[in-house]
Amino acid sequence: MQVFYRIEDFQSLPNAVVTIGTFDGVHKGHQKILRRLKAIAQETAAKTVVITFYPHPRSVVSSDNKMIKLLSTMDEKVALLENYGVDYLLVIPFTREFSELSSENFIQKILIDTIGTKKLVIGYDHKFGKNREGSFENVKANSHKYSFEIEEISREDIDSIGISSTKIRNAVLQGDVKLAKHYLGNHYSISGLVVKGKQLGRTIGFPTANVQVREQAKLIPADGVYAVKVLYKTEWLNGMLNIGVRPTVDGQSKTVEVYIFDFDRDIYGENITLQFVEKVREEMKFDGLNALKNQIEADGVQIRKILNS
């Protein structure tokens, strides 16, 4: 997959089938669009193009300029899209100025002049252009003016509920990582750098790796204790993870720390990925380190069962 971060670097294609969206999380609804995109490309000998934006458009156009917490960083999104056989990814820098581009100009300048679109595939609720004025109905009604066809992909439902990135973000914020997986098709994950902490876990027999998530916009699940899968280099390991302020020992700044089962290597300065399998309990304050140690031991037994089932 070729990735372009500037519109002017993209060279027009003779036959492109294109989709547009933020694709946060690349969930099952997005996957339905991507499968259709690839099928059309195979039927018509076309190249697939995904247009996405950075930063998230809502973080730019919202009245309070509030940062949107995201399911996937740009690097994660690139990797996920590549897994679906996308040929070209165009990441458009989303600015206030770009948000003023009308849907008519977006179609002419981006879809036609820049890419060479022959077919546009969009989700049932996708809108584009200034004030989200561009829609399937709008493009379809004016299709005689354009040099491409358009196809709308219906909503993807699970248990009669439409999948959306917003629903998944809410599930993650509530710690319901099992529901998030149900909608994503894979475990919700975060990646980060292992940094030195206060090493209090080591004093009670549970040395933990403190994980620093460097992408500010990355959504961190709710505080609590989780069963997790840990990717270290190319090796998958099991572990239990705590997110919170550690009220028993200091109760101050929030940390993400993981105890990796049956593992005693020094991984400071290394990057690891954590896949959230299940939340097992809320973070709690205990009457001292012995009570905390006993609870962690019980958590470990429960989490090993979850991860080995």
Residue-wise pLDDT for 73-111, tens only, equals 999 999 999 999 999 999 999 999 999 999 999 999 999
Work out whether strand 47-54 and strand 161-162 pair parallel, antiparallel, or are unpaired: unpaired
Closest CA to 134 of 118, 125, 12, 24: 125
Sheet of strand 149-153: strand arrangement: 2-4, 88-93, 47-54, 16-20, 117-123, 149-153
Q: Give DSSP secondary structure letters for 75-117.
A: HHHHHHHHHTT-SEEEEEE--HHHHT--HHHIIIIIIIIII-E
Judge contact between 167 and 245, C-beta under 8 A: no
pLDDT score, position 201: 66
pLDDT value for 99: 92
Query: For position 113, what pLDDT does the model report?
Result: 96
303: helix, strand or coil: helix
- CA gap 91, 100 in Å, rounded: 17
Which residues are CB-contacts of 226 (< 8 A; sequence separation ≥ 6)?
175, 177, 240, 241, 242, 243, 276, 277, 278, 279, 280
How high is the pLDDT of residue 247? 66
| Residue the block writes with tokens 């902490």 | 197
List all residues 6 or more positions away from 176 whose beta carbon is below 8 Å from its beta carbon.
279
Determine the pLDDT at residue 238.
Answer: 98
Residues of the chain where predicted confidence (pLDDT) is lower than 50: none
Taking the C-alpha atoms of residue 64 and residue 263, their distance in angstroms, rounded to an integer, is: 45
Q: Report the DSSP pairing between strands 47-54 and 88-93.
A: parallel
- Look at residue 251 in the predicted model and tell me its pLDDT: 63
Note whether 90 and 115 are within 8 A (CB).
yes
pLDDT digits (tens, 9 = 90+) for 166-187: 999 999 999 999 999 999 999 9
pLDDT for res 48? 99
- The SS3 assignment for 42 reads helix
Sign for the CA dihedral angle at 281, 287, 288, 294 comes to: negative
Write down the pLDDT at residue 291: 85
Report the alpha-carbon distance of residue 227 to residue 307 in Å, rounded.
Answer: 7
Tens of pLDDT, residue by residue over 274-297, are 999 999 999 988 888 888 889 999
What pLDDT is recorded for position 258? 96
What pLDDT shows up at residue 53?
96
Burial class (CB within 10 angstroms; exposed 0-12, middle 13-18, buried 19+) of 264 = exposed
**Average per-residue pLDDT in the chain?**
92
pLDDT at position 154:
92
| R_g of the chain computed on alpha carbons | 22
What's the one-letter identity of residue 241? L
